[in-house]
Amino acid sequence: MARFADRGVLEWVESGGGPLIAVPEVVLPFWAGADSEELDTDYDRACEVSGYAGLLPVGDSAALVLGDEPAATSYLPEHTAFVRWSAADSERDLLAGVPAALKTAVWEQELRWQVPGPVVLFDSAWPGGEADRQEHLRVPLTAGSYAVRAAYAQPGAETWVGLVQLSRLA
């Protein structure tokens, strides 16, 4: 996990136990997290997403919820993928298994995500307006439509990785 003394080279985002969410920067103020007067908060909506990934409306856009388990997550631009650290002895072992995991993964049904530009990955319990004050990762996506596919894979005996890969659509 990202708590190891040797964190490696990537920035990892963790949650307090709930799902992580990638919210487009332009609609961050519309994500209330768990701080809401409504009976069902944005955080509650994120927790209801089934599967490894799902989309939720936020403002006039949509956020990508990374569901299932609250694994430490980073973004690998060379694979256009969020990588979720489920099990590995080191960051190096985890990253070495990513190419094999991408080839052997059994993917869930693909989603279509319209992205207005860069997104911010953070714990879905936090309000979007406070994302910069919490553990977060800015992902500089280009505006456009993306195919999103998600899976978990075991590229090695001691390595399990979650994948949420984005493919830009023409």
Residues 24-66 have pLDDT tens digits of 999 999 999 998 777 789 999 999 999 999 999 999 999 999 9
Q: List pLDDT tens digits, range 63-99.
A: 999 998 889 999 999 999 999 999 999 999 999 999 9
Given a cut of 80, is residue 5 above it in pLDDT?
no
**Could you give the percent of the chain with pLDDT greater than 70?**
95
Closest by alpha carbon to 139, among 101, 82, 86, 92?
82
Task: Taking residues 99-116, report their average pLDDT.
Answer: 96
| Residue pair 56/50 in contact by the 8 Å Cβ criterion | no
**Could you give the percent of the chain with pLDDT greater than 90?**
83
Q: Which amino acid is at 114?
A: Q
Helix (H) or strand (E) holding 114: strand 111-115
Q: Which amino acid is at 21?
A: I
Q: Quote the pLDDT of residue 1.
A: 36
Q: Quote the pLDDT of residue 164.
A: 98
Both tokens of residue 90? 């080191």
Q: How many helices (H) and strands (E) does the chain have?
A: 2, 10
Q: Quote the pLDDT of residue 13.
A: 95
Given a cut of 90, is residue 140 above it in pLDDT?
yes
User: Distances in Å between the alpha carbon of 74 and those of 14, 47, 60?
Assistant: 9, 20, 26
Q: Quote the pLDDT of residue 35.
A: 83
13-35 exposure pattern, b = at least 16 Cβ within 10 A, e = fewer: bbbeebbbbbbbbbbbebbbbbe
Both tokens of residue 159? 């390595």
Confidence of residue 3 (pLDDT cuts 50, 70, 90): very low
- The structure tokens 């990202």 sit at 2
Given a cut of 90, is residue 8 above it in pLDDT?
no
Distance, CA of 71 to CA of 152 (rounded, Å): 11
